[in-house]
Amino acid sequence: MRGMHLSPDDPLLLRIVDDLASHGWSQQTLFLPEPLTLALAAECRKRAAEGELAPAAVGRGASQEVREGIRGDHIQWLEPGQAESCDQYLELMDSLRIALNRGLYLGLEDFECHFALYPAGAFYRRHLDRFRDDDRRTVSAVLYLNQDWQAGDGGQLRMSLKGDFEHDVEPAGGCLVVFLSGDIPHEVLPARRERLSLTGWFRRRGNDPF
């Protein structure tokens, strides 16, 4: 399966654009074909086995530090050309970036993302994805890579929405959640088994050269 480019007018992408316009978030239960989801999961586990995933830090720049009481995932950033499955996913996300710009005029310039592996028991406390001193992160996108995930496995993404309403997303393989980075606080609940995802952000131009 080569090439994952979609037209900006693809119905799947337009549903995401419409959801963001109407309520600031979108959940697509089957966003990826299963073979690509499985390939990405295998790539994440391969990197973990080779020791390439590192404990994630909180904060930004010189103030970054690993604080397992806030987040317990291990990550590695994606770069083009590392693996075919990753390149296919990045191509698909660029199609979504174009669709978001066309439909919502967000001025998104690029997309950054990393594998995130949560060991059993790990979590991420409630937070916003946009940094206080850097507003480039505009739209967050989380793709789940977990096979046969059951409700009792935990690990849900809990989004805090308007009106004190909470929405939980089961991290089942192939599911994509997209939301406005500066508007929706969220957390990752503790999982009872290893939990894999690709977590990324569409970014607009900022003043910070770094």
pLDDT tens digits for range 18-64: 999 999 999 999 999 999 999 999 999 999 999 999 987 655 554 44
Q: Which of 126, 125, 97 is nearest to 202 (CA)?
A: 97
Q: How many residues does the chain have?
A: 210
Beta bridge partners of 71: 124
Asked whether the predicted pLDDT for residue 208 surpasses 90, the reply is: no
The answer to whether position 6 is within a domain reads no
- pTM of structure: 0.90
Question: What are the pLDDT digits (tens) for 162-188?
Answer: 888 999 999 999 999 999 998 999 999
The answer to whether position 40 is within a domain reads yes
Looking at the chain, list the stretches that DSSP marks H as alpha helix, in order from N- to C-terminal side.
11-23, 34-49, 84-104
Q: Higher confidence at residue 1 or residue 143?
A: 143
For residue 186, give both structure tokens. Answer: 């969220």
For residue 18, give both structure tokens. Answer: 């419409």
Q: What is the pLDDT of residue 207?
A: 60
The answer to whether position 199 is within a domain reads yes
- Can you tell me the mean pLDDT for 190-201? 96
- Can you tell me the mean pLDDT for 131-157? 90
The answer to whether position 141 is within a domain reads yes
The answer to whether position 131 is within a domain reads yes
Residue span of the structural domain in which 190 resides: 11-58+67-204
Q: Do residues 193 and 153 make contact, with C-beta atoms less than 8 angstroms apart?
A: yes
Our count of domains for the chain comes to 1
pLDDT, averaged across the chain: 89
Q: Could you tell me the pLDDT band of residue 201, with boundaries at 50, 70 and 90?
A: very high
The strand pair at 157-161 and 195-204 is best described as: unpaired
For residue 202, give both structure tokens. Answer: 């569409």
SS3 of 50-93? CCCCEECCECCHHHCECCCCCECCEEEECCCCCCHHHHHHHHHH
- Domain of 53, CATH number, reads 2.60.120.620
Asked whether the predicted pLDDT for residue 210 surpasses 80, the reply is: no
Asked whether the predicted pLDDT for residue 116 surpasses 90, the reply is: yes
